[in-house]
């Protein structure tokens, strides 16, 4: 020691108590020393077997003890003992002699003495580096610490790997290691366990909470826990993203580990995780006695409370029934905390005793379910009031994509319209998995009821069972009617029970159902059900509610008798009554009965729109009451059926006078069939009956009659026309669109409309074809000042209507039905023509003359126009396209149309359209077979052959053309006529003109000049007048004309005439013209 001290060297002294080393050496150390000494493994196993299987007894005064195992030490007197002792001592000596011992095998029997204080030298530089780093971080040296708390102080796997190097050194063997919130993953976990996986490890507690070790890291831990050398007794893994797979691995490891305490709070155990671990707690061989799963103290309290209350572990059961408990028994806050913990995988929850929960309580519970939504299958909130906030949270829960709720019970929860709307909106979301809903004892109101109907009719809705009827009798009635009708009567807007329930008992049963707020039909058909006063009373009692939406009641063909009528009359007087249609046909009502009903309506006239008293006895009193009702300004009656009421002519007349005197009457239909023999002509009566059968409604006295698509063809229109002539017919608006009406039907209809008796002011004939004669009659009708018709609708296409409106604004008149449509200069370009073309396709817009000059039309517009006119029904005879730019391409399109046998064009004006020889050629070919009589091509350029092609046609006896206009000016026309007579030939077909024997008296200079400048006159040789007959001005006029048409003349002879100064100047200008082709002068 002095020697080491003099040399300033460290000295380590070890004192060994050999007796204790001999008696108490751990068995694991024995096998370790044998292997280190080179003993073969098979002999090591023999020694292990000898010691681990041996049993020992102790003798005492009263005998001997039971057999037991000796865990440490050697057998005294055994031949193997000296050998084993020697091996242990050799290994101990060897270790002590090393420069820096890696272990202290018997810590309580050894002491260390150091010259320079308690400083141990770490063998590995990396370990020293890690130690220095941690000393700086912690403020203390980590070496030899028993409790090493590094939570949140090292970051990620790299920090853990650095720590692992330090932990491998024998001088750093903590018993507790805290590593929470260090971003450790599987990789860091692996490095850590490699360092700790040693028979010399002293670690008893490891905290890896709030790291991302996940299932893969847990599997590594589980393998370490299985190691017999592992001394861990406490392991904390809260919030480590562990799932069912990790729980399973951990449960397997715990069967043989030393672990006493395990913390898995904040992880997801899956379906089986909790059971696997809690089952281990019942296993006597498992050392685990503390298992922490619930994250919050409130959840722990709820767990404890429920365990005591039901004497079973709530985590192991999927159902919780608190229907006999209150929040005093199980605190809502604590229950909510438990429900949101992932270890509580409840599937069926029935909440507290009736009325014991507040809205906030419900909100808290449901909010908890939203945080842990994936397990619950059934939720029972019956007889509690979730309130607005609770219901809102419930809807969010149902919309949650992780929600798997299948059954929701909300009976007697005070849910109103607004709540129904929100709830159904949630159920309509594709995310909702609900298949059963109980809403008994709540009031949906009108809008909630409507939403429920829509929900049940929505094919995408997964809901299969909807419970809404609270009363057993109502449910019984519903089941019976479902069987009778084949459909569930609940939520139906139209409940048709005609002839399907029998007598008052059936109606009384129905009445129970109708009292439920979920069964509120708008239409109730009870005809032919043998209902009497008794049934009527029960029915009206059920319907007497401010919430009743009933609008139509049919009690026809029942025996409700006087007393039933009185009950009904009292109901009609009720201001809350919303009935709009009441049918009492064939109820054997007397005059007094009918009077009572009508009188009741007189006291409350503002709701009923349709009344049927057919086949009853109305009498004078009833008619008088009806007349008074119809004159009432508050009366809203639109349909009144009184057929077969044995009304007299006087009674019918009184009703008619009442309607005539009240111009503001809302009555649109009056059905007097069976009484018609006194008010209608036989033909009109038959027409009325037939139309009523066809339409399902009586057309008589209806101010508005829509027969569109309901009658077909001319025969139906003819029959209708008879009725329109009758003075009893009050129709003002008649719709007949798409009825296949042709010329014959139009003729009959217009004849009826021209009668003084017709009251029609609006007529819709869209989608029909009037033909030429029908169109002509329509024109005459609209021009007839006596006609009362104000509105005529004939255009089916919206674009055609738009074009019509535009042209009406432009022209100041409606273009429809016009025979002469003059749009010259009033529409601009092809777009305007295309709009017009849509209008022209309609059979009601068929002009005979169409003026479109100066409209900037090109080939494109020409094509649209001809497409519209290409019809066998087209009546167009004259078309004027002058002063546009259709050119040869447009003329070719026109030529093709002229060849069409259906084309009826007789006059075509194409003046100033920049048409050339090619266009002339196309026209000439088309004219051979067309109907064209007159053609105007003035102001175009015929080229070399254009004029000849057309003039040749005039000689063709098969060609119908008799007027061809080519000359643009009247002077040119006169010169053409003069020269034709003078030379007896067509000057247009000759290239030479010799006037050397003529004077300006024979052929006027002005007229000749006009002819010379026309592009159709293609003269090549011109010899002018007799010597001395031309003045200078004459010469000037002629030459000026040639300047305007210079490209054809080859020879000009002015011999013996005096052009003068001005004529010569014009001649020079002519010669300078680049288009001048003159060769001889």
The CATH number given to whatever domain includes residue 392 is 3.80.10.10
| Residue 626 belongs to a domain | no
Q: Up-side HSE of residue 373: CA atoms within 13 Å toward CB?
A: 21
How many domains is the chain built from? 6
Show the tokens assigned to 594. Answer: 């009918």
- Asked if the structure places residue 312 within a domain, the reply is no
For tokens 């459909």, the residue is 487
Q: Report helix angle 80-97 to 41-52, nearest 10.
A: 120
CA atoms within 13 Å, Cβ hemisphere of 1037: 15
In a domain, 621, yes or no: no
User: CA angle, 1024 as apex, 1020 and 1030 as ends, to 5°?
Assistant: 150
* Distance separating alpha carbons of residues 992 and 145, to the nearest angstrom: 134
User: Which of 434, 467, 500 is the C-terminal boundary of a domain?
Assistant: 467
Residue in 612, 607, 593, 591 with CA at minimum distance from that of residue 669:
612
Q: What contacts 35, CB < 8 A, 6 or more positions away?
A: 41, 44
Residue 161 and residue 288 share a domain = yes
Which residue is it, tokens 């077969």? 644
Helix runs in 414-560, H state only: 417-428, 445-457, 472-485, 503-514, 533-543
Residue 826: helix, strand or coil by DSSP?
coil
998: Cβ contacts below 8 Å, ≥ 6 apart: 982, 1025, 1026
Q: Is the same domain home to 802 and 903?
A: yes
User: Could you count the other beta carbons within 10 Å of the beta carbon of residue 275?
Assistant: 16
- The whole-number pLDDT of residue 211 equals 94
What contacts 16, CB < 8 A, 6 or more positions away? 92, 106, 109, 110
Percent of the chain with pLDDT over 90: 15
Distances (CA, A) of 262 to 173, 235, 257, 379, 914: 22, 5, 12, 32, 101
Task: Classify residue 981: in a domain, yes or no.
Answer: yes
Q: Where are the beta strands (DSSP E) in 353-443?
A: 378-380, 407-409, 436-438
Residues 845 and 941 in one domain: yes
Query: Inter-axis angle of helices 359-371 and 332-339, to 10 degrees?
Result: 20
997 in the same domain as 848:
no
Residue 878 bridge partners (DSSP): 849, 907
Give the separation between CA 345 and CA 615, rounded to whole angstroms: 69
Residues 6+ apart with CB under 8 A from 612: 556, 581, 582, 583, 584, 585, 641
Nearest CA among 200, 168, 197 for reference residue 26: 200
Diameter of the chain measured on Cα atoms: 185
Helix 273-281 and helix 244-254: axis angle, to 10°?
20
Asked if residue 219 and residue 149 are part of one domain, the reply reads yes
* Distance from chain centroid for Cα 49: 77
Last residue of a domain, one of 413, 447, 467: 467
32-72 tens-digit pLDDT:
888 888 888 878 888 877 777 677 776 665 567 777 677 66
Query: Cα(258)–Cα(232) distance, rounded to whole angstroms?
Result: 6
Among 365, 373, 270, 293, which residue's Cα sits nearest to residue 322? 365
- Strand-pairing partners, residue 303, are none
Range of the domain at 1031: 970-1072
Examine residue 610 and state whether it is found in any structural domain, yes or no. no
In this structure, the answer to whether residues 287 and 399 fall within a common structural domain is: no
Positions of the chain with pLDDT under 70: 1-25, 53, 58-63, 68, 71-73, 75-77, 95-123, 144, 430-431, 545-547, 660, 676-681, 694-698, 700-702, 727-728, 756-758, 872
For residue 443, being part of any structural domain is answered with yes
3 state SS of 527: coil
Is residue 492 classed as helix, strand or coil in its secondary structure? Answer: coil
Confirm if 384 and 352 have CB atoms less than 8 A apart.
yes
Q: In sequence order, which residues have a C-beta less than 8 Å from that of residue 276 and are 6 or more positions away?
A: 247, 248, 251
Rounded CA separation 287/282 (Å): 10
Kindly state whether residues 1016 and 1068 are assigned to the same domain.
yes
Say whether both 781 and 817 belong to one domain.
Answer: no
Q: What are 162's two structure tokens?
A: 């650095």
| 360 and 440 assigned to the same domain | yes
Residue with tokens 């380590």: 12
Nearest-CA neighbor of 823 among 884, 745, 777, 759? 884
Locus of tokens 């949630």: 426
Which is nearest to 415 in space by CA: 447, 371, 376? Answer: 447
DSSP summary character for residue 26: B
Give, in order, the Cα–Cα distances in Å from 593 to each of 503, 504, 558, 565, 627.
21, 21, 14, 6, 16
Q: Which of 527, 580, 526 is nearest to 549 (CA)?
A: 580
Does a structural domain hold residue 569?
no
Residue 424 in domain: yes
Rounded-to-integer distance, Cα 969 and Cα 972, Å = 5
937 shares its domain with 1030: no
| CA 676 – CA 153 distance, rounded (Å) | 104
From 57, 78, 109, give the residue that closes a domain.
Answer: 109
Q: Which of 83, 82, 104 is closest to 95 using CA atoms?
A: 104
- How big is the chain by its Cα radius of gyration, in Å? 56
167 and 273 share one domain: yes
Measured between alpha carbons, how far is 562 from 566 in angstroms, rounded to an integer?
6
Please give the pLDDT value at position 403.
87
Residues 744 and 816 in one domain: no
CA angle centred on 999, ends 996 and 1003, rounded to 5°: 105
């Amino acid at each position: 020691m002095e020697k080491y001290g003099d040399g300033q060297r460290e000295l380590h002294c070890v004192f060994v108590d050999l007796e204790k080393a001999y008696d108490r050496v751990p068995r694991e150390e024995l096998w370790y020393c044998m292997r280190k000494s080179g003993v073969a493994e098979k002999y090591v196993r023999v020694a292990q077997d000898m010691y681990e299987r041996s049993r020992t007894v102790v003798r005492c005064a009263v005998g001997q003890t039971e057999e037991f195992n000796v865990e440490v030490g050697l057998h005294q007197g055994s031949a193997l003992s000296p050998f084993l002792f020697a091996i242990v001592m050799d290994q101990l000596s060897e270790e002590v002699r090393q420069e820096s011992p890696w272990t202290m095998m018997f810590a309580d029997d050894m002491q260390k003495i150091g010259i320079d204080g308690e400083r141990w030298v770490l063998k590995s530089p990396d370990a020293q580096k890690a130690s220095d780093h941690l000393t700086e971080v912690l403020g203390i040296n980590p070496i030899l610490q028993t409790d090493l708390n590094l939570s949140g102080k090292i970051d990620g796997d790299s920090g853990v790997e650095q720590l692992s190097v330090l932990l491998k050194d024998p001088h750093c063997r903590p018993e507790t290691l805290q590593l929470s919130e260090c971003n450790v993953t599987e990789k860091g976990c692996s490095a850590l366990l490699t360092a700790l996986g040693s028979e010399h490890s002293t670690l008893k507690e490891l905290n890896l909470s709030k790291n991302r070790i996940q299932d893969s890291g847990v599997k590594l831990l589980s393998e370490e826990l299985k190691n017999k050398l592992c001394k861990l007794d406490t392991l904390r893994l809260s919030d480590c993203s562990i799932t069912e797979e990790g729980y399973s691995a951990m449960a397997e490891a715990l069967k043989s580990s030393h672990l006493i305490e395990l913390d898995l709070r904040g992880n997801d155990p899956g379906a089986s995780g909790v059971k696997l671990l809690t089952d281990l707690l019942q296993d006597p061989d498992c050392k685990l006695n503390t298992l922490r799963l619930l994250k919050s103290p409130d959840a722990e309290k709820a767990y404890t409370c429920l365990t005591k209350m039901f004497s079973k572990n709530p985590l192991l059961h999927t159902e919780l029934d608190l229907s006999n408990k209150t929040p005093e028994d199980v605190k809502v806050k604590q229950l909510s905390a438990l429900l949101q913990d992932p270890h509580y995988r409840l599937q069926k929850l029935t909440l507290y005793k009736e009325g014991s929960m507040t809205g906030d309580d419900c909100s808290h519970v449901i909010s908890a379910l939203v945080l842990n939504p994936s397990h619950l299958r059934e939720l029972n909130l019956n007889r509690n009031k979730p309130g607005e906030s609770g219901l809102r949270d419930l809807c969010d829960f149902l919309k949650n994509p992780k929600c798997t709720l299948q059954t929701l019970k909300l009976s007697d929860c005070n849910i109103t319209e607004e709540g129904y709307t929100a709830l159904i909106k949630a159920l309509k979301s594709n995310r909702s998995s609900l298949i059963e809903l109980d809403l008994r004892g709540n009031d949906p109101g009108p809008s909630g009821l409507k939403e429920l109907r829509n929900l049940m009719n929505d094919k995408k809705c997964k809901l299969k069972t909807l419970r809404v009827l609270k009363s057993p009798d109502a449910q019984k009635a519903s089941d019976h009617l479902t069987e009778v009708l084949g459909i569930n009567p609940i939520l139906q807007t139209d409940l048709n029970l005609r002839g399907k329930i029998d007598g008052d008992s059936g109606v009384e049963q129905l009445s129970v159902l109708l009292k439920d707020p979920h069964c509120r039909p708008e239409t109730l058909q009870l005809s032919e059900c043998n209902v009497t006063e008794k049934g009527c009373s029960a029915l009206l009692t059920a319907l007497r509610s401010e919430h009743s939406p009933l609008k139509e009641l049919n009690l026809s063909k029942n025996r409700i008798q006087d007393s039933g009528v009185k009950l009904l009359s009292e109901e009609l007087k009720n201001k809350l009554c919303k009935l709009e249609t009441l049918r009492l046909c064939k109820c054997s009502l007397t005059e007094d009965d009918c009077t009572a009903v009508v009188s009741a309506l007189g006291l409350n006239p503002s709701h009923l729109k349709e009344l049927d008293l057919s086949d009853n006895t109305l009498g004078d009193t009833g008619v008088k009451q009806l007349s008074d009702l119809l004159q009432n300004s508050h009366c809203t009656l639109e349909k009144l059926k009184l057929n077969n009421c044995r009304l007299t002519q006087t009674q019918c007349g009184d009703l008619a006078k009442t309607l005539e005197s009240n111009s503001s009457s809302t009555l649109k239909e009056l059905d007097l069939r069976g009484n018609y023999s006194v008010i209608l002509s036989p033909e009109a009566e038959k027409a009325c009956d037939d139309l009523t059968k066809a339409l399902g409604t009586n057309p008589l006295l209806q101010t508005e009659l829509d027969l569109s698509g309901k009658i077909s063809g001319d025969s139906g229109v003819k029959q209708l026309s008879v009725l329109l002539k009758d003075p009893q017919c009050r129709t003002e608006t008649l719709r007949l669109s798409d009825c296949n009406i042709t010329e014959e039907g139009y003729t009959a209809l217009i004849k009826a409309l021209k009668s003084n008796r017709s009251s029609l002011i609006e007529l819709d004939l869209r989608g029909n074809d009037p033909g030429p004669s029908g169109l002509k009659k329509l024109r005459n009708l609209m021009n007839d000042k006596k006609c009362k018709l104000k509105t005529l609708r004939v255009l089916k296409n919206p674009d055609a209507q738009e074009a019509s409106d535009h042209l009406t604004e432009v022209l100041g008149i409606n273009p429809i039905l016009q025979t002469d449509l003059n749009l010259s200069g009033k529409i601009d370009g092809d777009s305007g023509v295309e709009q017009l073309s849509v209008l022209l396709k309609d059979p009601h817009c068929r002009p005979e003359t169409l003026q479109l000059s100066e409209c900037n039309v090109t080939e494109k517009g020409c094509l649209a126009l001809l497409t519209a006119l290409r019809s066998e029904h087209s009546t167009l005879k004259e078309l004027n396209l002058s002063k546009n730019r259709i050119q040869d391409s447009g003329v070719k399109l026109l030529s093709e149309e002229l060849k069409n046998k259906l084309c009826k064009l007789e006059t075509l004006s194409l003046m100033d359209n920049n048409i050339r020889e090619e266009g002339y050629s196309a026209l000439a070919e088309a004219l051979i077979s067309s109907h064209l009589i007159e053609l105007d091509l003035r102001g175009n350029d015929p080229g070399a052959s254009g004029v000849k092609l057309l003039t040749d046609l005039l000689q063709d006896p098969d060609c119908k053309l008799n007027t061809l206009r080519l000359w643009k000016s009247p002077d040119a026309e006169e010169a053409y006529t003069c020269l034709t007579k003078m030379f007896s030939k067509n000057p247009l077909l000759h290239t030479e003109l010799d006037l050397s024997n003529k004077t300006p008296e024979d052929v006027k200079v002005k007229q000749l000049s006009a002819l010379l400048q026309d592009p159709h006159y293609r003269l090549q040789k011109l010899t002018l007048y007799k010597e001395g007959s031309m003045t200078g001005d004459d010469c000037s006029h002629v030459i000026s004309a040639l300047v305007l048409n210079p490209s054809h003349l080859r020879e000009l002879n002015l011999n013996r005439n005096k052009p003068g100064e001005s004529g010569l100047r014009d001649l020079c200008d002519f010669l300078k013209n680049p288009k001048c082709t003159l060769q001889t002068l």
